[in-house]
């Protein structure tokens, strides 16, 4: 674990600078922006987005995509509401929905590890199945919000003006950060993401960890979905809107704090900087397409940034892996072969 | 390293007189290159005639890759340098200009697409010749055939690359590099360790190809770590050390010992000799139980691999690629799942295809392919080294970096890993030899009872090679049973107490004690080689 010693380096903190820049621009552009409520809104509306991004982050570190996080969250949220309306106690409904999220992650893991389907396809398929299940469970009618007091208090209880849900996000982030940076589990996940076969030959339980990462992602998605539903009420569509910003944040986050590595705090910085951008733009203009457009552009820009960053840190001739790198073999391209970035470092 | 295998034609014309007069194929004057104030190449000056084969020797970090990168246009040298190619001045920092003036490069990684045909690979990067917007297959085939003829290669253009032997693949990459594409014919071909992963007889095939290429007037700069490729092949030899050109010799005017001394300095040479003597004095007690016992193991070419290894032994495995030797250690360790037979490590049966079980039984395995199977390039050297067991650093819910760092630092000192303070730098920033040391230390720190090493010094410089050998001998003295699978006869002769010859998927001979020498290994290998195998080898050489 490289320690991130604070400095003014643009390479690590560009996101924070961008956020400050956003705040300055929007403050000048509209008097509506720099108010307490803006920040309260951003904090609570992005708390769940942050959780979903963390759910995406964990399997991403060991090289697995989880595209089912959005559908999973949505499904878990609806199930919680349906159960509460059926007369379940708050705690039972809450735990059951989160357990459901974990189970979905378990199924993802089964498909990826046992059936050897690529995670991209597996979770895309599961995502579609979950959308179908949501319709079945609710009989295609958006259920009424539960009347339980505890249900709404869970997220809307206020601490110093902020809704408590933001606290949950930071507790979760702290836990995941600890797991990824300070435990053998994190070490193994990163090793698997770096080179799966080499990790297997070093005795790492490659399949087991990939599976665990997907289960964790499922559980966190379920939790996030339940919290979101408690915060804003049941809906069929919120899951889909969470997926893209989550991926954008994870990739953008990998250019922050510890460039070249997917990391928790970078991801959160990215989530909030993107949110400030969207929020500011929405205050300036009320067109409906803004946040979708902004998130799409941000995702592509984030991945482009992240890819360029890694290729500079670790020159790799081609994303298609036509050839393996060699510190001495630099000039394949000179014979006209595959596209390639020259190493900037002298051989050690 | 000895490639004392059947030689084909061409050993004589290597000494043929070079074309005198006319412009130099390559002329380099006062080429220096510094990175961040550190000079890695100092005042390099060298001229090559057309048709000259020039071997460039240097340990990793000696500046040879910097030189190549400068020629290829990837580095801009420091002011004052002047380079001409085929009589034309080479402007720096432009790969496309370097290519247009006739500089061509072939790397250890050939950049061929295994699943495509030879023909498709040849035109993959330059574009097929076209007629009316469609690919003109006939013209393509004609050009490709001409390119292959120039280097004396006769292969089926429609076969996929993966069906060719390694030497043929290298030759194919050379043919592709030498395509003129309407410009002047290439005058300079630079090969960077082309034989690092070739078995012995394939090396000779490739060297023959290069002789033919040079005879057509192309100057060749040939980078290698294999000194025994020089005689009967090169015209001249240069040695780079620490960024300086030590000297250039006519190939027949310098002997191996002298080159080694120039390459690594006399201290390490003495050590190399000492290690061999120490090994001769070691004795192994064969009366106890073997620690590793392999019976009738089958996998692909392996039909019946049977062997025993006792503590303190260093057992070598020698055999061509294709004999099954290349899979033997992977199958024993379980990284590849065997089809039959048993593997027992101190009395316990090992299940097939379960590396974790082998590690639990104190077996370590260093695969041949460093980048694909062994190292995690974007993780730090420290994390690579401790990956197998991080438990000692895990206390009170945290992985402690202090004890981890101090343990890793100890291994850095122990194996002389450079840079010495690079524990937390990504593995990709280390040179090949130092990467290999890091990955060897990963297993040494486990204090394994059995250590399986697959081509442990392939593609590493001479200094790192000496260090790896020293560590292996050290481990054996401490009681570790070591198995080394290698195509490098000299390596086996230098460190092994016993050498197994593998052919057609089984152990066909066992050399012990005084028979563990380069000539004996080669003799045993050839004595029993069936006639048809030799015929096949010669046929390849002649074609």
Q: What is the mean pLDDT of chain A?
A: 84
Assess whether pLDDT exceeds 50 at residue A342: no
Cβ of B109 within 8 Å of Cβ of A323? The answer is: yes
Cβ of B99 within 8 Å of Cβ of A336? The answer is: yes
Is A321 a domain residue? no
Is A272 a domain residue? yes
Is A116 a domain residue? yes
Identify the DSSP state of B335: S
Cβ of B429 within 8 Å of Cβ of A348? The answer is: yes
- Nearest-CB residue to B377 (from A195, A330, A347): A195
Predicted local distance difference test score (pLDDT) of residue B35:
79
Q: Helical H runs in B39-104? A: 64-72, 95-100
Of the ranges A317-331, B64-78, B311-325, B342-356, the best mean pLDDT one: B342-356
Measured between CB atoms, does B87 come within 8 Å of chain A?
A: no
Tokens read off for A153? 């208090």
Tokens read off for A245? 């910003």
CATH number at residue A294: 1.10.3470
A20: closest CA of chain B, how far (Å): 32
Residues 341-400 in B contacting A (C-alpha not used; CB under 8 Å): 355-356, 359, 365, 367, 371-379, 383, 387-388, 390-391, 394, 397-399
Answer for the pair B423, B382: CB distance below 8 angstroms, yes or no: yes
Identify the DSSP state of B426: B
Stated as kind and residue range, the H or E segment containing B474 is helix B462-477
Q: Percentage of chain A surpassing pLDDT 90?
A: 54
Q: How many domains does chain A have?
A: 1
Identify the DSSP state of B159: S
Tokens read off for A111? 């498909």
Q: Which residue of A has its CA nearest to B401?
A: A1
What is the per-residue pLDDT across B22-70, written as a single tens digit (0 to 9) for each?
Answer: 688 899 999 998 877 778 888 999 999 999 999 998 876 678 888 888 8
Stated as kind and residue range, the H or E segment containing B248 is strand B244-250
What is the per-residue pLDDT across B218-248, written as a single tens digit (0 to 9) for each?
Answer: 899 998 877 778 888 899 999 988 888 888 9
Q: Which of B158-162, B196-200, B283-287 has the lowest mean pLDDT?
A: B283-287
Three-state SS for B20? Answer: coil
Predicted local distance difference test score (pLDDT) of residue B459:
79
Residues 279-318 in B contacting A (C-alpha not used; CB under 8 Å): none
Q: How far is CA B249 from the centre of its chain?
A: 24
Cβ of A191 within 8 Å of Cβ of B434? The answer is: no
Cβ of B69 within 8 Å of Cβ of A330? The answer is: yes
Predicted local distance difference test score (pLDDT) of residue B269:
61
Query: CB pairs below 8 Å between A and B: how many?
Result: 174
Report whether the peptide linkage leading into residue B419 is cis, meaning its omega lies within 30 degrees of zero: yes
Residues 42-71 in B contacting A (C-alpha not used; CB under 8 Å): 60-61, 64-66, 68-69
Q: Give the largest CA-CA distance in chain B.
A: 78
Equal fold, B23-264 vs B271-376+448-542: yes
The stretch A40-55 carries a mean pLDDT of 92
Q: Which domain holds residue A306?
A: 10-313
Kindly report the number of other CB atoms within 10 A of residue A223's CB atom: 24
Q: Which of B22-26, B395-399, B496-500, B538-542 has the lowest mean pLDDT?
A: B538-542
Three-state SS annotation for A247-271: HHHHHHHCCCCCCCCCCHHHHHHHH
Assess whether pLDDT exceeds 70 at residue B318: yes
Predicted local distance difference test score (pLDDT) of residue B512:
86
Predicted local distance difference test score (pLDDT) of residue B359:
95
Q: Which residue of A has its CA nearest to B192?
A: A329
Cβ of B374 within 8 Å of Cβ of A329? The answer is: no
What are B467's strand-pairing partners? none
What is the per-residue pLDDT across B509-535, written as a single tens digit (0 to 9) for each?
Answer: 888 877 888 878 877 776 544 433 433
- Nearest-CB residue to A324 (from B109, B394, B418): B109
Q: Which of A133-137, A323-327, B8-12, B403-407 has the lowest mean pLDDT?
A: A323-327
CA A237, CA B186: separation in Å to the nearest integer?
62
Cβ of B103 within 8 Å of Cβ of A334? The answer is: yes
Mutate to test the interface with A, among B122, B333, B399 (most CBs of A within 10 A): B399
Cβ of A191 within 8 Å of Cβ of B95? The answer is: no
Predicted local distance difference test score (pLDDT) of residue B196:
66
CB contacts of B75 in chain A (<8 Å) are 342
Is A343 a domain residue? no
Predicted local distance difference test score (pLDDT) of residue B287:
56
What is the per-residue pLDDT across A50-83, written as a single tens digit (0 to 9) for each?
Answer: 999 999 999 999 999 999 999 999 999 999 999 9
Predicted local distance difference test score (pLDDT) of residue A9:
63
User: Treating both helix axes as pointing N-terminal to C-terminal, what angle do A36-61 and A238-253 enclose, rounded to 10 degrees?
Assistant: 70
User: Closest by alpha carbon to A105, among A84, A130, A82, A142?
Assistant: A130
pLDDT bucket at A270, cuts 50 / 70 / 90: very high
Predicted local distance difference test score (pLDDT) of residue B277:
57
Query: Where is pLDDT greater, at A259 or A102?
Result: A102
Is A336 a domain residue? no
Is A276 a domain residue? yes
Three-state SS for B131? Answer: strand
Query: Where is pLDDT greater, at A29 or B442?
Result: B442
CA B438, CA B381: separation in Å to the nearest integer?
7
Assess whether pLDDT exceeds 60 at residue B416: yes
- Nearest-CB residue to B355 (from A182, A187, A200): A200
User: Closest by alpha carbon to B198, among B210, B207, B187, B189?
Assistant: B207
Predicted local distance difference test score (pLDDT) of residue B535:
36
Q: How far is CA A233 from CA A57, A142, A161, B4, B476, in A?
A: 26, 10, 20, 79, 69
Tokens read off for A173? 């982030």
- Nearest-CB residue to A348 (from B375, B397, B431): B431
Assigned fold of B271-376+448-542: Rossmann fold (3.40.50)
Burial-class residue B370 by CB neighbours within 10 Å (0-12, 13-18, 19+): buried
Mutate to test the interface with B, among A63, A193, A334 (most CBs of B within 10 A): A334
Is A42 a domain residue? yes
Of the ranges B193-197, B348-352, B508-512, the best mean pLDDT one: B348-352
The stretch A189-212 carries a mean pLDDT of 95
CB contacts of A337 in chain B (<8 Å) are 111, 124-125
Is A236 a domain residue? yes
Cβ of A324 within 8 Å of Cβ of B388? The answer is: no
The stretch A32-58 carries a mean pLDDT of 90
Burial-class residue B478 by CB neighbours within 10 Å (0-12, 13-18, 19+): exposed
Predicted local distance difference test score (pLDDT) of residue A332:
33
User: Closest by alpha carbon to A263, among A248, A249, A253, A274?
Assistant: A253
CB contacts of A197 in chain B (<8 Å) are 372-373
CB contacts of B109 in chain A (<8 Å) are 323-326, 329, 332
Three-state SS for B240? Answer: strand
Predicted local distance difference test score (pLDDT) of residue A12:
78
Tokens read off for B118? 């030879």
Residues 6+ apart with CB under 8 A from B473: B275, B278, B279, B314, B495
CA A156, CA A158: separation in Å to the nearest integer?
6
Predicted local distance difference test score (pLDDT) of residue B263:
77
Predicted local distance difference test score (pLDDT) of residue B176:
86
Answer for the pair B466, B271: CB distance below 8 angstroms, yes or no: yes
B350: closest CA of chain A, how far (Å): 14
- Core vs surface per residue A173-201: b (16+ CB within 10 A) or e: beebbebbbbbbbbbbbbbbbbbbbbbbb
CB contacts of B125 in chain A (<8 Å) are 335-338
Query: Where is pLDDT greater, at B511 or B484?
Result: B484
A178: closest CA of chain B, how far (Å): 8
Measured between CB atoms, does B177 come within 8 Å of chain A?
A: yes
Stated as kind and residue range, the H or E segment containing B511 is strand B506-512
Answer for the pair B211, B222: CB distance below 8 angstroms, yes or no: no
What are B483's strand-pairing partners? B315, B452
Kindly report the number of other CB atoms within 10 A of residue B256's CB atom: 12
Cβ of A195 within 8 Å of Cβ of B192? The answer is: no
Measured between CB atoms, does B196 come within 8 Å of chain A?
A: no
CA B535, CA B8: separation in Å to the nearest integer?
11
What is the per-residue pLDDT across A175-189, written as a single tens digit (0 to 9) for each?
Answer: 999 999 999 999 999
Assess whether pLDDT exceeds 80 at residue A91: yes
Query: Where is pLDDT greater, at B284 or B389?
Result: B389
Kindly report the number of other CB atoms within 10 A of residue B123's CB atom: 16
Predicted local distance difference test score (pLDDT) of residue A112:
97
Cβ of A199 within 8 Å of Cβ of B376? The answer is: yes
Q: How far is CA B482 from the centre of its chain?
A: 21
- Nearest-CB residue to B108 (from A329, A345, A348): A329
Cβ of B391 within 8 Å of Cβ of A184? The answer is: yes
pLDDT bucket at B385, cuts 50 / 70 / 90: very high
CA A116, CA B97: separation in Å to the nearest integer?
47
CB contacts of A183 in chain B (<8 Å) are 394, 397-399
Cβ of A330 within 8 Å of Cβ of B379? The answer is: no
Cβ of B428 within 8 Å of Cβ of A310? The answer is: no
Can you give the residue ranges of every domain in chain B?
23-264, 271-376+448-542
- Nearest-CB residue to B61 (from A198, A322, A348): A348
Burial-class residue B133 by CB neighbours within 10 Å (0-12, 13-18, 19+): exposed
Answer for the pair B292, B306: CB distance below 8 angstroms, yes or no: no
* Domain B23-264: CATH superfamily, name plus number: P-loop containing nucleotide triphosphate hydrolases (3.40.50.300)
The stretch A288-305 carries a mean pLDDT of 82
Predicted local distance difference test score (pLDDT) of residue A173:
97
Predicted local distance difference test score (pLDDT) of residue B146:
83
CA B92, CA B100: separation in Å to the nearest integer?
13
Assess whether pLDDT exceeds 70 at residue B403: yes
Q: Helical H runs in B57-165? A: 64-72, 95-100, 118-124, 137-150
Of the ranges A21-30, A82-91, B179-188, B282-291, the best mean pLDDT one: A82-91
What is the per-residue pLDDT across B113-160, written as a single tens digit (0 to 9) for each?
Answer: 888 888 888 888 777 888 888 888 888 888 888 888 878 788 888 888
User: Treating both helix axes as pointing N-terminal to C-terminal, what angle do B462-477 and B432-444 enclose, rounded to 10 degrees?
Assistant: 10
CA A259, CA A270: separation in Å to the nearest integer?
13
Residues 6+ apart with CB under 8 A from B331: B297, B299, B302, B305, B337, B338
């Amino acid at each position: 674990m490289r320690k991130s010693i604070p400095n003014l380096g643009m390479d690590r903190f560009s996101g924070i600078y961008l956020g400050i820049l956003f705040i300055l621009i929007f403050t000048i552009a509209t008097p509506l922006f720099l108010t307490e409520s803006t920040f309260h809104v951003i904090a609570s509306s992005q708390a769940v987005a942050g959780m979903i991004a963390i759910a995406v982050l964990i399997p991403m570190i060991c090289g697995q995509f989880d595209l089912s996080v959005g559908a999973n969250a949505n499904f878990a949220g609806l199930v919680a509401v349906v159960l509460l309306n059926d007369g379940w106690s708050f705690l039972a409904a809450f735990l059951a929905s989160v357990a459901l999220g974990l189970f979905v992650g378990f199924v993802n893991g089964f498909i990826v590890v046992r059936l050897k389907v690529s995670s991209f396809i597996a979770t895309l398929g599961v995502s579609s199945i979950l959308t179908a299940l949501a319709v079945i469970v609710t009989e295609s009618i958006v259920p009424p919000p539960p009347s339980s007091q505890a249900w709404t208090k869970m997220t809307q209880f206020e601490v110093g003006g902020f809704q408590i849900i933001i606290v949950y996000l930071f507790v979760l982030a702290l836990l995941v950060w600890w797991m990824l940076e300070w435990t053998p589990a994190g070490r193994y996940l990163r090793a698997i993401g770096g080179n799966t076969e080499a990790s297997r030959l070093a005795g790492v339980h490659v399949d087991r960890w990939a599976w665990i990462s997907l289960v964790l992602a499922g559980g966190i998605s379920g939790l996030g979905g339940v919290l979101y539903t408690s915060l804003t009420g049941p809906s069929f569509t919120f899951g889909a809107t969470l997926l893209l910003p989550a991926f954008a944040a994870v990739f953008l986050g990998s250019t922050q704090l510890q460039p070249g590595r997917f990391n928790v705090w970078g991801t959160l910085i990215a989530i909030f900087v993107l949110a400030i951008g969207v929020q500011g733009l929405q205050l300036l203009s009320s067109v409906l397409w803004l946040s979708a457009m902004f998130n799409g552009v941000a995702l592509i820009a984030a991945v482009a940034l992240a890819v360029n960053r890694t290729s500079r840190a670790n020159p790799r001739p081609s994303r298609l892996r036509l050839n393996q790198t060699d510190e001495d073999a630099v000039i394949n391209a000179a014979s006209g072969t595959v596209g390639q970035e020259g190493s900037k470092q002298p051989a050690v | 390293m000895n490639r004392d295998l059947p030689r084909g034609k061409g050993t004589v014309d290597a000494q043929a007189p070079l074309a005198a007069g006319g412009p130099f194929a390559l002329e380099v004057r006062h080429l220096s290159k510094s990175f961040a104030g550190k000079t890695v190449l100092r005042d390099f000056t060298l001229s090559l005639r057309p048709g000259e084969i020039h071997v460039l020797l240097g340990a990793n970090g000696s500046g040879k890759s910097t030189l190549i990168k400068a020629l290829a246009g990837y580095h801009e040298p420091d002011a004052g340098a002047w380079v001409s190619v085929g009589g034309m001045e080479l402007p720096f920092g432009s790969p496309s200009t370097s290519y247009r003036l006739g500089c061509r490069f072939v790397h250890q990684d050939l950049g061929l697409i295994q699943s495509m045909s030879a023909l498709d690979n040849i035109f993959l990067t330059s574009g097929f010749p076209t007629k009316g917007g469609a690919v003109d297959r006939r013209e393509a085939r004609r050009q490709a055939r001409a390119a292959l003829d120039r280097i004396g290669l006769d292969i089926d253009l429609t076969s996929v690359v993966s069906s060719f032997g390694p030497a043929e693949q290298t030759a194919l990459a050379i043919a592709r590099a030498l395509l003129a594409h309407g410009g002047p014919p290439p005058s300079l071909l630079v090969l960077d360790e082309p034989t690092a992963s070739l078995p012995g007889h394939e090396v000779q095939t490739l060297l023959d190809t290069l002789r033919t290429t040079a005879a057509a007037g192309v100057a060749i700069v040939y980078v290698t770590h294999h000194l025994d490729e020089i005689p009967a092949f090169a015209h001249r030899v240069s040695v780079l050390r620490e960024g300086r050109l030590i000297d250039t010799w006519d190939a027949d005017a310098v002997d191996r010992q002298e080159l080694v001394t120039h390459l690594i300095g006399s201290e390490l040479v003495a050590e190399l000799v000492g290690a061999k003597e120490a090994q001769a004095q070691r004795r192994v007690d064969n009366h106890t139980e073997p620690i590793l016992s392999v019976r009738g193991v089958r996998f692909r070419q392996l039909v019946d691999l049977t062997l025993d290894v006792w503590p303190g032994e260093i057992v070598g495995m020698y055999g061509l690629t294709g004999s099954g030797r290349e899979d033997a250690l992977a199958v024993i360790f379980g990284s590849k799942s065997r089809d039959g037979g048993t593997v027992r490590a101190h009395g316990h049966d090992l299940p097939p295809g379960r590396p974790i079980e082998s590690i639990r039984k104190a077996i370590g395995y260093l695969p041949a392919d460093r980048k694909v199977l062994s190292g995690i390039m974007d993780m730090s050297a420290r994390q690579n080294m401790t990956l197998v067991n991080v438990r000692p650093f895990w206390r009170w819910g945290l992985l402690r970096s202090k004890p981890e760092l101090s343990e890793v630092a100890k291994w850095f000192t122990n194996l002389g890993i450079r840079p010495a303070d690079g524990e937390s730098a990504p593995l990709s920033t280390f040179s090949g030899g130092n990467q290999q040391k890091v990955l060897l230390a990963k297993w040494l720190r486990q204090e394994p009872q059995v250590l399986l090493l697959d081509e442990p010094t392939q593609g590493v410089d001479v200094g790192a090679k000496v260090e790896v050998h020293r560590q292996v001998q050290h481990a054996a003295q401490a009681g570790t049973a070591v198995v080394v699978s290698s195509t490098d006869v000299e390596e086996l002769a230098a460190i092994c107490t016993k050498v197994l010859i593998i052919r057609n998927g089984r152990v066909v001979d066992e050399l012990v004690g005084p028979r563990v020498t380069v000539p004996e290994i080669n003799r045993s290998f050839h004595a029993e080689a069936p006639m048809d195998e030799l015929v096949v080898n010669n046929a390849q050489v002649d074609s």
